A and B are shown apart, each in its own frame.
Chain A
Amino acid sequence: MAIGEISGLKMGQATRDAFGEALRDLGDQFPEVVTVDGDVGNSTRTEWFAQKFPNRSFNVGIAESNMVSVAGGLAAQGKTAVVASFACFLLNNAFDQIRMSVAFPNLNVKLVGSHAGISIGEDGPSQMGIEDVALASCLPGVTVCVPTDAVSTQAATKAMLEHNGPVYLRLGRPKAPVVYPDGCDFQFGKSIQLTDGDDITIIANGLMVGMALDAAKSLKDSGIAARVIDMHTVKPIDEEAIIKAATETGRIVVAEEHLAAGGLGSAVSMVTARTRPVPMSFVNVGDQYAESGDPDGLLEKYGLTAGNIVEAARSIL
């Protein structure tokens, strides 16, 4: 079953496509923006910006370490440096460069990781960024954002360019269901509540928001009112919304397309553990690498479906 089918969502653009369009379209409004690529601009879609602004784009070849530090240098020179690659190559390959050339000096570099999650499919686990949110989140001063659909990705892209400081924006490869057909009120650190409900809260981001809406619809059919929250910003996390949800619904499921450790589940748990401990359950990739295969089959096999969220909810109801 396609994501969003139960809740009646339409399929829209992939978040990487929405990012590519937004960056290109915002280029005139933000003249300080430059891109630095590691020869995957046609995958990350920064190519679209590069075609429009060839003098503001650098392809430094297959060299992620150099790519990130060059972006740091451009930012030190006052540019808003957007550096894009596959999430896994960016965060895993160039982690020390992100730490030393970007986060530690707190430079205005926007790290964009496409092809995140197991839903990239057939290319297999070497290409799947599933540690990226953990790695980005642990770095002081780095804002971490996982938008869910085209509209919120466009908004996140603009917010990212307006924000002064390092940002990690996580994008997916496959088409994503339209969660915000009529636009959204997007701010870093401010989650968006998508459904009302006082029985349980489902906190999700990225592709899992559509799954969460499907799960909520299924739960509703059996008389359980689930509050769905799109927690697009993992850092800084929206503590207020989490505490409110914990207080009002007493139970929380966290769903994300990431390893169990260090992602959204960890971030939400840190808030509830400190402020209002409640029963929680988690839907994620667990503690394992996935395999090659078709995206839907992978999501099914590794437990990232609406059904898995329903199951996780029932386990704590």
Chain B
Amino acid sequence: MGVTATQLSLDDLKSKALDIRKEIIRMTTEAGSGHPSSSLSATEVVTALYFGGFLRVDPDNPTDPARDRFIMSKGHAVPVLYAAMAERGYFPVEDTMTLRKLGSKFEGHPNMKRMPGIEASTGSLGQGLSIGLGVALGCKMDNLDSQVYVMIGDGEMGEGQVWEAMAAAQKYGTGNLTAIIDQNGYQQTGATKDVLDQKPFASKVEAFGWHVQTIPGNDMEAVVKALETAKTVTDRPTCIVSETQKGFGILPLLEEAGDTNFHGKPLPPEMAEKALAMLS
């Protein structure tokens, strides 16, 4: 079959994002732990990457050298990645229901040793962009035209290593590297503006010599357009500041529960049922 990108229509992409949201909620509720709200903010971007004509991968041969790479640096948001991979055909969707259970390869954070198709083991924040840079440099050395995408959390930007990677990527002109900052405005203990406000990201990243776009990251059309633009920039690394909402899709439920951050909490079964109905 070889590496190919799946390209759905905008309507089908939106519908795919709904399916992925539902799977995120199902698997985390079944696990009784996990980070659904951190996954929901990132859903449009991850869905667009896997189904909007971007990631050229072969689920039957997940290590094909010609593939594109997606690295989830904010590793706790791995449910959205598992759901997208399942939808893309890496494994049956029902397998993801073993999330976080003993013996399952669906670990709480991505583990490349246990799951082909996972491009980096993450979960200690701040390392994904550096790893992505290494992969991007390696691909260039091997004359592969592979694109490397790395998703970083806005709270994660507090890790100085991310800025180290930005400086180095600029030096080596890695046009095959795209960082997506999932700016959902929250981190573990509260709003990022209260914990460590690092905004504005766009001007800072631009100052590091990157091509930068800022988009409404839960708007599928905007996401697809930004990813298309990123692909056309080949002389330097690109960054998409994706302004999102944590828990997007089920916000009224989170408001009702009195916690719009909902960090690291699975939806209790009753709430999950309501969420699934809301997303149908």
Residues of A whose CB lies within 8 Å of any CB of B are: 34, 36, 55-56, 58, 60-61, 63, 65-66, 68-79, 81, 96-97, 99-101, 104-106
The reply to whether B130 and A65 contact each other, CB–CB distance below 8 Å, is yes
The reply to whether B134 and A105 contact each other, CB–CB distance below 8 Å, is no
Residues of B whose CB lies within 8 Å of any CB of A are: 65, 111-113, 119-124, 126-127, 130-139, 141-142, 160-161, 164-165, 167-168, 171-172
Q: Closest Cβ of chain A: how far from B64's Cβ, in Å?
A: 12
Cα(A101)–Cα(B124), bound, Å: 9
Q: Which of B121, B122, B138, B165 contacts A77 (CB 8 A)?
A: B138
Cα(A101)–Cα(B139), bound, Å: 18
Q: Closest Cβ of chain B: how far from A221's Cβ, in Å?
A: 54
The reply to whether A79 and B138 contact each other, CB–CB distance below 8 Å, is yes
Question: What 11 additional pairs, Cβ within 8 angstroms, besides A58-B137, A77-B142?
Answer: A34-B138, A36-B134, A63-B161, A65-B127, A66-B130, A73-B120, A73-B134, A76-B134, A96-B127, A100-B122, A105-B113
The reply to whether A69 and B168 contact each other, CB–CB distance below 8 Å, is no
The reply to whether B167 and A69 contact each other, CB–CB distance below 8 Å, is no
User: When A65-B130, A65-B161, A100-B121 are in contact, do A77 and B135 touch as well, CB less than 8 Å?
Assistant: yes
Can you list 23 pairs linking A and B with CB atoms under 8 Å apart? A36-B134, A60-B168, A63-B167, A65-B130, A65-B160, A66-B130, A66-B161, A66-B168, A68-B130, A70-B133, A72-B130, A74-B138, A77-B134, A77-B141, A79-B138, A96-B127, A97-B127, A100-B121, A100-B124, A101-B131, A104-B121, A105-B111, A105-B112
- Of all A-B residue pairs in the complex, the 4 with the closest CB atoms, nearest first, are A73-B134, A77-B138, A69-B130, A66-B164
User: When A76-B131, A76-B134 are in contact, do A34 and B141 touch as well, CB less than 8 Å?
Assistant: yes
The reply to whether B124 and A74 contact each other, CB–CB distance below 8 Å, is no
Neighbouring A residues of B160 by C-beta, 8 Å = 65
Q: Closest Cβ of chain A: how far from B276's Cβ, in Å?
A: 34
Neighbouring B residues of A99 by C-beta, 8 Å = 124
Q: Which of A63, A75, A96, A104 contacts B134 (CB 8 A)?
A: A75
Q: Closest Cβ of chain B: how far from A205's Cβ, in Å?
A: 30
- Among residues of A, the one whose C-beta sits closest to the C-beta of B122 is A100
User: When A63-B168, A65-B161, A100-B127 are in contact, do A56 and B113 touch as well, CB less than 8 Å?
Assistant: no
Neighbouring A residues of B112 by C-beta, 8 Å = 76, 105
User: When A70-B131, A101-B130 are in contact, do A78 and B120 touch as well, CB less than 8 Å?
Assistant: no
Q: Closest Cβ of chain A: how far from B104's Cβ, in Å?
A: 18
Neighbouring A residues of B167 by C-beta, 8 Å = 61, 63
Neighbouring A residues of B168 by C-beta, 8 Å = 58, 60-61, 63, 66, 70
Cα(A76)–Cα(B110), bound, Å: 15
The reply to whether B119 and A76 contact each other, CB–CB distance below 8 Å, is yes
Cα(A104)–Cα(B118), bound, Å: 14
The reply to whether A74 and B134 contact each other, CB–CB distance below 8 Å, is yes
The reply to whether B138 and A78 contact each other, CB–CB distance below 8 Å, is yes
Q: Closest Cβ of chain B: how far from A154's Cβ, in Å?
A: 26
Neighbouring B residues of A73 by C-beta, 8 Å = 120, 130-138
The reply to whether A97 and B161 contact each other, CB–CB distance below 8 Å, is yes
The reply to whether A69 and B142 contact each other, CB–CB distance below 8 Å, is no
Neighbouring B residues of A71 by C-beta, 8 Å = 134
Cα(A34)–Cα(B134), bound, Å: 11
Q: Closest Cβ of chain B: how far from A30's Cβ, in Å?
A: 14
The reply to whether A96 and B121 contact each other, CB–CB distance below 8 Å, is no
- Among residues of A, the one whose C-beta sits closest to the C-beta of B165 is A66
